[in-house]
Each structure stands twice: as structure tokens, then as C-alpha cells.
Amino acid sequence: MTLPPVAEGHDRVVIDFDGVLAENNWPSPVVGSPIKEGIELLKAFVDEGKEVIVYTARPHSHQQRIWSWLAMQGLQMKVYDVVTGKPTAGVYVDDRAWRFER
């Protein structure tokens, strides 16, 4: 898998949840099915020693639902945090920015 470049000096990668890791069901409270390519991308960044943060436009009240979904995918120990809004990072992987083609 070809990873997008990470800005020099940054060890943090931010990956969008809906549309990258899970099928985009927003604004439904039901979390979508896993997206294989997004999960592989997350794992590849972790393997390169990057700190991965998952972000979402969902409200804070959905944060535990997302952590549960990550646990079901075996990713809870690979993700540093789940946040709403966009934290500072060297690269954003988002369904509206850099994208892998499916």
C-alpha cells in the first residue's frame, strides 16, 4: 500500500472515521461497515510508528460508540485517541481530502 506523505517533523496521522474507516452512515447513529482499505491504511501508519488519531464530525456523544466499533475491528490498541474536530497533524486522511480509490 502506498501511504500519503506525512509532513516532515510530524509523527501524528489523523484519519476520518465515516467514509474512510467505516461506511458513511452519518447522520445515522448506526456505525457503518468496515472499509478494508481504510483499516489497512491505519495499520500501515501504526507499523511505521505514527500516532494515529481518528476524528469524526459526529457529536461527542458518539465517541464511545466509535471506540466500541474500533474494538470490534481489533484496532482499539492501535488508535491513540478519537476526537471530534480536526487536531493538528502532518497528514489528514479524509474522504474529502487525500483518498484511496476503491
Secondary structure of residue 14 in the 3-state scheme: strand
Q: CA 46, CA 25: separation in Å to the nearest integer?
A: 26
Confidence of residue 95 (pLDDT cuts 50, 70, 90): low
- What percentage of the chain reaches a pLDDT higher than 90? 64
Q: CA 28, CA 13: separation in Å to the nearest integer?
A: 26
Mean pLDDT across the chain, nearest whole number? 89
pTM score of the predicted model: 0.84
Task: Give me the pLDDT at residue 74, please.
Answer: 97
Torsion of CA 2, 86, 46, 77, to 10 degrees: -140
